[in-house]
Amino acid sequence: MFGTLNTFLSGVARAWAVNDGVNLASFVSLKDKHIMNRNLYVEMPENAVSRILEAPIDEIVCAHIKVLYYLSLEPRDFLLAYRHQSQCVQSVVKMLQQLKEENWCLPIMYTVCLDLRILAQKCEELGSGSKPGEILERAADCLMSCFRVCAADNRSSDSETKRLGMLNLVNQLFKVYFRINKLHLCKPLIRAIDSSAFKDTFPLPEQITYKYFVGRKAMFDSDYKSADDFLSFALKHCPKNFPHNKRLILIYLVPVKMLLGYMPKKYILECYDILQFHELSEALKEGNVRKFDDVIQRHEYFFIKCGIYLLVEKLKFIVYRNLFKRVYLIKQTHQLDLNAFRSALRFVGEKDMTIDETHCIIANLIFEGKIKGYISHSHNKLVVSKQNPFPALNTVS
């Protein structure tokens, strides 16, 4: 089924001779079927490679074959495989620098960079580094070397420029930075893409991934309207045959929408198996603090695992806002005794709520624009606006 090492190298040489970047990418991919070829498991392939291949592709293929060798051992040596994959990426950087005003080689860069990130993640899972995140951080440095070469290619024509490869690398870097929790390193990458002439013409799958991560970052920065825009773009354009990806987007988009006052439809949540948010939205609509706390407690693992626990906790002020709006609708007056709010809070589960804590909650709601009014401490009353005292959440968040 599989040929000899020389047959493999001859195939690489033919693809290199005709500038076939896609075919070359498959020759150096760890997902291609050739990785099952035992004839390629060679620890020292330099002599064989140098006889058939020329620079700079020879170093790339040589490093790739060494990666295959270390992954063929029992047990597999992921750390040494990662190190040789790093050398493979560094050789690709040299190739990018040598092939001026040409971008047919970008698929090779995409492939080796993706494999580097995956190997780095595997090493992290096995605890191969001296401290958590160390190997992924070094992998990000390798990816940045490729990014710098692409970003600096200003002299080539629009069709031949390596800048077309920037977004693919940015998405790879995002995946690393989110995993090692260094989101501040995303800022210069976002600036580079936003100022790029190609930002609206990059391949749609790359744009979807980019908007997903930028939306998540905006969410962590409490810029919920931007997060809504980015994540909504990602959801709208994500193909229907990728339900797992749609679910990932919705896990972040739904709580953002809820903070902006838009409650999710139950059938959508059922489709993507995220009914935890339906229970939350029911508690929000009712202004039921006890029910809200119960949902948070029961689904705590899910919210923490998805990294949205603190975001979901922020919804509690909407629960308070909706509860207090009910008090206002019952009392039908714009001068409301604060003890009425404390009684309402105690009724829905906040048994130990003091009047000072009630003041504090209402003051925060006024500050956030969720209630239009002021507290009269001398009369222990909340005086609300006669016009629209509880503005729609999508106008204030």
Residue 299, domain member (yes or no): yes
Q: Are residues 175 and 288 in the same domain?
A: no
Q: Which long-range contacts (CB under 8 A, 24 or more apart) does 279-287 make?
A: 280/312, 280/315, 283/319, 284/258, 284/315, 284/318, 284/319, 284/322, 285/322, 286/322, 287/319, 287/320, 287/321, 287/322, 287/323, 287/324, 287/325, 287/326, 287/348
Residues 294-331, buried b or exposed e (16+ Cβ, 10 A)? ebbeebeeebeebebeebbeebbebbbbbbbbebbeee
Within-domain flag for 264:
no
In a domain, 22, yes or no: yes
Task: Tell me which of 162, 180, 198 is where a domain ends.
Answer: 180
Q: What is the pLDDT of residues 39-55, one digit of tens each?
A: 999 999 999 999 999 98
Lookup: tokens for 9: 């190298």
Q: Per the structure block, which two tokens stand in for 233? A: 């773009």
* Model confidence pLDDT, tens digit, residues 371-389: 999 998 888 888 988 888 9
Q: Which of 131, 158, 180 is a domain's end point?
A: 180
The predicted pLDDT at position 64 comes to 96
Residue 120 lies inside a defined structural domain of this protein: yes
Q: How far apart are CA 201 and CA 194, in angstroms?
A: 12
Quick one: pLDDT band at residue 355, thresholds 50, 70, 90? confident
Neighbouring CB atoms inside 10 A of 229's CB total 16
Q: Give me 229's structure tokens.
A: 């825009």
Residue 241 inside a domain? The answer is no
The answer to whether residue 229 sits within a structural domain is: no
- Whether this model's pTM surpasses 0.85: yes
- 390: domain CATH number? 1.10.10.10
Give pLDDT, residue 348. Answer: 81
Do 165 and 45 have their domain in common? yes
What domain range is 331 assigned to? 280-395
Percent of the chain with pLDDT over 90: 67
Domain membership of residue 138 (yes or no) is yes
* Residue that terminates a domain, selected from 150, 180, 210: 180
Q: What is the pLDDT of residue 332?
A: 84
Structure tokens given for 291: 């029910």
How many domains is the chain built from? 2
Specify whether 20 is located in the same domain as 166.
yes
